[in-house]
Amino acid sequence: MSQTPEILCEVRGAAGMVVLDRPKALNALTLPMVRELARALDAWEKDPAVERVVVTSTSEKAFCAGGDIRTLHDLGKAGRHDEMLAFWGEEYILNARIKSYPKPYVALIDGIVMGGGVGISLHGSHRIAGDRYLFAMPEVGIGFFPDVGATHALPRLAGAAGIYLALTGDRVGAA
């Protein structure tokens, strides 16, 4: 069971279920959420009863809009740089962990998926997009490179779509 109310991690049958539950913040990731997901993945990897991981959201608007930039900004203004850097470091380690996870990792993505939401979905072994799917790497629009490992993953998508998204930051919805 989860240690933070913003993310529910529990075993249901043979699935390790992760439910993002910050709908008012479009499920933007916080450090406690990153840590809870990492803790659950570690536990479920060792649990033979857990055959797969399924990640979803309670929000109809968003799977995950990325990192909680407001909280990160507030931490920076308060001089709490260690916490701010811990978020980025642990989030990136989590993305790498998801990429190499030994069990099927299924992200059920519907609504907005940007930034950190891309990290916790794109790197999994399986992704299923819903009718309201809206993907973007908005940091590209302000001159940053695509983060959360997207520079590795996007060029590997079919055709030139991933490269286009990595270079433009445009939004892509369900077809």
pLDDT per residue rounded down to tens, the chain (175 residues):
556 789 999 999 999 999 999 999 999 999 999 999 999 999 999 999 999 999 999 999 999 999 998 999 999 999 999 999 999 999 999 999 999 999 999 999 999 999 999 999 999 999 999 999 999 888 888 788 888 878 888 888 878 888 888 888 888 888 6
To the nearest 10 degrees (0 to 180), the angle between helices 31-46 and 81-99 is 30
Rounded distance between C-alpha atoms, residue 147 and residue 72, angstroms: 16
Task: Give the pTM.
Answer: 0.91
Q: Which of 115, 139, 162, 169 is catalytic?
A: 139
Q: Are 166 and 138 in contact (CB under 8 A)?
A: no
Q: Which of 36, 147, 162, 169 is catalytic?
A: 147
Q: Tell me the pairing of strands 105-109 and 126-129.
A: parallel
Say whether 147 is catalytic.
yes
Say whether 139 is catalytic.
yes
Strand partners, 50: none
CATH topology of domain 7-136: 2-enoyl-CoA Hydratase; Chain A, domain 1 (3.90.226)
Q: Which of 16, 111, 116, 117 is catalytic?
A: 116
Question: Domain ranges in the chain?
Answer: 7-136
Among 35, 51, 28, 37, residue whose Cα is nearest residue 8: 37
Rounded distance between C-alpha atoms, residue 75 and residue 83, angstroms: 7
SS3 123: coil
